[in-house]
Amino acid sequence: MGLRDIVSGVESREKTLAVYAPTDALAAAVRDYFASQNVRVVHEPVADPADARVELVDGDGPVVSADVHAVEDLVSGRANRDFGEVVPYRTILEQLDRTTFTSYDHTQMLTASREIEDRAWRVGAGQLLVGFQALSTFKTQQDAYRLLAETDLDVHVYGAPDANVDSVGTTVHATNSPEIRETWFVAFDGGPDPDQKSALLAEERDGEFYGFWTYDSDTVDRVFDAVPDTANRSTA
């Protein structure tokens, strides 16, 4: 099974984000941010700003809650941060496991990728596979990957050879494989802790990305198995 087959095979499941706030402004921003995902956003008015919060809910009630200021940072694009920085909205993203997204652009893909990269950095060991489609995109992320390579992570980067790049301590796989050129992935095997397994996988279609992120161990393993050039990649 290839990477694109995995994207096609993930079942879309609608989830609901309830925004408790005095006005609909934040709910509207959250709705716009998640418009490309199978996520329903509802506004629940509250009179007291101290009661403002964002909750992910299912049929049984609230699953997780996040501070409204953190969610504001996420949907406004201010969420880029250094590795290891605590981000209160992470619990929301983790619970959106295997919720499909569509129409992501490069900026949104880089933001989503940082969640998986940050988890790998915090563990500091294991194998991280990253496919940016083209090495020119990896070139824009080399400062971050230099930090990742300073840990005990075994980092492998894949991309079409459209630029000369410094490996910055990673193993670079220059390849014109259609699976690499047409998909974007970041997959972490969890290192010593299988519960830390996570992956982001998307297929580019007409200049936009369709895919999902997951913390499901079996799905992450499938992504690892589908990455081309496995025979030439050492085991961490």
Apex 226 CA angle, 224 and 232, nearest 5: 75
Amino acid 10: pLDDT: 59
Which residues 6+ apart lie within 8 Å of 196 measured at CB? 119, 123, 126, 188, 190
Q: Which residue type occupies 116?
A: I
CA distance linking residue 24 with residue 123, whole number of Å: 38
Which tokens in the block code for residue 160?
């079409």
Judge whether 203 and 4 are in contact, CB under 8 Å: yes
Which residues 6+ apart lie within 8 Å of 134 measured at CB? 159, 160, 162, 163, 181
Judge whether 126 and 120 are in contact, CB under 8 Å: yes
Low-confidence ranges of the chain (pLDDT < 50): 11-12, 230-232, 234-236
What three-state secondary structure class fits 66?
strand
Amino acid 229: pLDDT: 63
Could you report the per-residue pLDDT of 120-142, keeping only the tens digit for each?
A: 999 999 999 999 999 999 999 99
CA distance linking residue 226 with residue 84, whole number of Å: 29
CATH 3.30.870.10 in the chain, residue ranges: 3-8+97-232
CATH 3.40.30 in the chain, residue ranges: 12-95
Q: Which CATH superfamily is domain 3-8+97-232 in?
A: Endonuclease Chain A (3.30.870.10)
Amino acid 181: pLDDT: 93
Amino acid 236: pLDDT: 36
Q: Domain 12-95: give its CATH code.
A: 3.40.30
